[in-house]
Amino acid sequence: MGRGDSQPVSQGSRAVRKPAKVTAWWYGLVGAGGLAFGLIGERRPLGEDLFAHPLFVYFAAVAVALLVLRLASGRPVPLLISERALLAGCFGGLALFLVGNFIAAHLLAG
């Protein structure tokens, strides 16, 4: 069983359930966000600056979302989503960003 599966994990004196739903939501949202930011990436709607590049803004939004998840749950994020799933989601989001960028540049450009 992987770390993202639902299994009890001891945290201090109480057992905490690691839901697999959170991991599924993580993959879905990070993938959809990567594709969406990739589709708008060719137009550069936020400007030409490095910090305004859609890929940079995308990963900044992912970081903010993980911080919000940490504050909302009151537990460290690796107790909710395994490190491997976090890394795989980031690489999947990057790949879907590139797919979206390719679609915007080559298939939607008229």
Give me the pLDDT at residue 1, please: 46
Residue bearing the bigger pLDDT, 67 or 16 = 67
Helix residue ranges per DSSP H, the chain: 20-41, 54-73, 77-80, 83-102
Q: Tally Cβ neighbours within 10 Å of residue 83.
A: 10
Q: 7-21, 42-56, 88-102: which has the minimum mean pLDDT?
A: 7-21
Instruction: Give me the percent of the chain exceeding a pLDDT of 90.
Output: 57
- In angstroms, the CA 20 to CA 34 distance is 21
Give me the pLDDT at residue 42, please: 80
Asked if residue 41 has pLDDT above 60, the reply is yes
Give me the pLDDT at residue 66, please: 95
Q: Are strands 8-11 and 14-17 parallel, antiparallel or unpaired?
A: antiparallel
Give me the pLDDT at residue 44, please: 79
Place of tokens 């939607």: 108
Per-chain mean pLDDT for the chain: 84
Structure tokens at 43: 């137009």
- Residues sharing a CB contact under 8 Å with residue 98, sequence separation 6 or more, in sequence order: 38
The 10s digit of each residue's pLDDT in 50-84 is: 888 899 999 999 999 999 999 999 999 999 999 99
Give me the pLDDT at residue 8, please: 55
